[in-house]
Amino acid sequence: MCASISGFSKLSKSKKIDWMVETYFSNAEETKNVLKQYWNTNDKLQQLHDEFIENTITNYYLPLGVAPNFLINGKFYTIPMAIEESSVVAAASKAAKFWLDRGGFKTKVISTTKIGQVHFMFHGAIDSLKNYFNHIKPKLIQDAHPITKNMEKRGGGIMDIELRDKTSDIPGYFQLHASFETLDAMGANFINSCLEQFAKTFKAEALTFDAFTSDEKDIQIVMSILSNYVPECLVRAEVSCKVEDLSEDQSISSEEFAAKFIQAVKIAEIEPYRAVTHNKGIMNGVDAVVLATGNDFRAIEACAHAYASRKGRYSSLSHAKVENGIFTFWIEMPLALGTVGGLTGLHPLVKLSLELLHHPTAKELMQIVAVAGLAQNFAALRSLTTTGIQQGHMKMHLMNILNQFDATNIEKDTLTAHFKVNTVTHSAVVEAIQQLRLKN
């Protein structure tokens, strides 16, 4: 019988598990064993994971893979990727190798500005509010100084605060729209702390602002929060080569490949049904590196898709062209990332991933992540416009199917060899494993 529970978070881990398995599972012991199988034998490490979130009952593993041979602005990288989808790391590695022989990836950070807003209501004369804002702006920045001083020493901090009038959308609604430079930190805590201080000063000082009427003195703060939409925290990654160097495959000429590839990108530029899948492929690469490096993939996802819709229609994040016989394929996307703070100094695998990437600055990580997205997109479009996606996908998926059938290592070797020359489908694999087992 399912039941509600109060005080759950205060129970010990084992009591939480007891309650959960007794309430929801038919086989309590088996369920507990599954959970315990994933506990780390190193108690300190387990405690670290337990304390990342509330009510931890076990660890949820994702594979951490690496994709070598990425040449980015003349420097070699092996990129760590945390992802469960079978074909992603293989595709990234293939794309890295392909472009390694053609000059590698070129990248550039375009901007690094982050945004936060204090949303508030004011029902009075707009000119009075503007006067108040101009009067109080230096004090907003001054009162936040204890929060910003360290960031300022390193060259970051508050860049500007604007008053934005949103009353045409919601009567009485205004914003303090602030921009920040947070250097190597993702900066969420820094920005939110500054915003909460702005809100406090903004509300309190209004009470003694002589030019306000008594009604105008009552500013109502709705909320203060960073925006994950950062269209001015932008990075560009690109690859290019002579059209004639494009094809490795006898079945398609370089010119034909370039033309088909560009058509595929153009379709994603104008057709949202295709653009979502196209960008999903980009995010396969982006998210995997974002996760491996301890960054917030939900923020990155939300922002990427908002940016992809910035012109009023959801569109491709990548673009391609041929000019003067040169094929160029590029991506421009917003990426608010950090290489200090958050999980970066805590999670042992995040630390390892950052070391593998030569301890990048946030700007360097933006470039690496954009490259992973572009590489993934290149690999997907290359397959889609030539062999089709299923050939590669199903080859990688083969191992998942074999694992579902608890295949032994010998069975795996035999069937991997078999499917090198036969088409992988779910039913073909099931049949092959059954045949093999009948023979033995």
Where on the chain is the footprint of ligand MEV (CB under 6 A)?
Answer: 85, 277-278, 280-281, 284, 380, 384, 389
Beta carbon nearer to ligand MEV, 294 or 373:
373
Beta carbon nearer to ligand MEV, 252 or 396:
396
- Catalytic one of 106, 119, 347, 393: 393
- Catalytic one of 181, 296, 347, 397: 296
Round to whole Å and give the CA distance between 344 and 361.
12
Q: Closest distance between ligand MEV and the C-beta of residue 320, in Å? A: 13
| Sheet strands (E) in 284-377 | 318-323, 326-334
Say if CB 216 and CB 372 are below 8 A apart.
Answer: no
- Catalytic one of 13, 16, 18, 85: 85
Beta carbon nearer to ligand MEV, 260 or 363:
260
Q: Is 7 exposed, middle or buried (0-12, 13-18, 19+ CB in 10 A)?
A: exposed
Beta carbon nearer to ligand MEV, 265 or 336:
265
Q: Strands 318-323 and 220-227: what pairing? A: unpaired
Q: Closest distance between ligand MEV and the C-beta of residue 41, in Å? A: 34
Q: Closest distance between ligand MEV and the C-beta of residue 381, in Å? A: 6
Q: Closest distance between ligand MEV and the C-beta of residue 367, in Å? A: 22
- Residues 50-71 as b/e (b if ≥16 CB within 10 A, e otherwise) read beeeeeebbeeeeebbebebbb
Give yes or no: 296 in active site. yes
Beta carbon nearer to ligand MEV, 180 or 307:
307
Backbone angles phi and psi of 343, in degrees to 5: -75, -15
Say if CB 117 and CB 225 are below 8 A apart.
Answer: yes
Give yes or no: 393 in active site. yes
The dihedral of CA 329, 335, 341, 346: what is its sign?
A: negative
Beta carbon nearer to ligand MEV, 144 or 268:
268
Beta carbon nearer to ligand MEV, 212 or 327:
327
Q: How is residue 225 written in tokens?
A: 């929060």
Instruction: For the beta carbon of residue 263, count every other beta carbon within 10 angstroms.
Output: 13
Round to whole Å and give the CA distance between 228 and 301.
9
311, 314, 316, 321: CA torsion to nearest 10: -50
Q: Closest distance between ligand MEV and the C-beta of residue 330, in Å? A: 16
Say if CB 56 and CB 50 are below 8 A apart.
Answer: yes
Q: Which residue is nearest to ligand MEV (CB)?
A: 281
Q: Closest distance between ligand MEV and the C-beta of residue 280, in Å? A: 6
333 forms bridges with which residues in the sheet? 235
Q: Closest distance between ligand MEV and the C-beta of residue 430, in Å? A: 23
Cα–Cα–Cα angle for 228, 142, 217, nearest 5°?
A: 85
Separation in Å, CA 278 to CA 5, 31, 180, 308, 315: 44, 39, 31, 11, 9
- Catalytic one of 137, 280, 363, 418: 280
Say if CB 163 and CB 109 are below 8 A apart.
Answer: no
Round to whole Å and give the CA distance between 285 and 82.
9
Residues designated catalytic: 85, 280, 296, 393
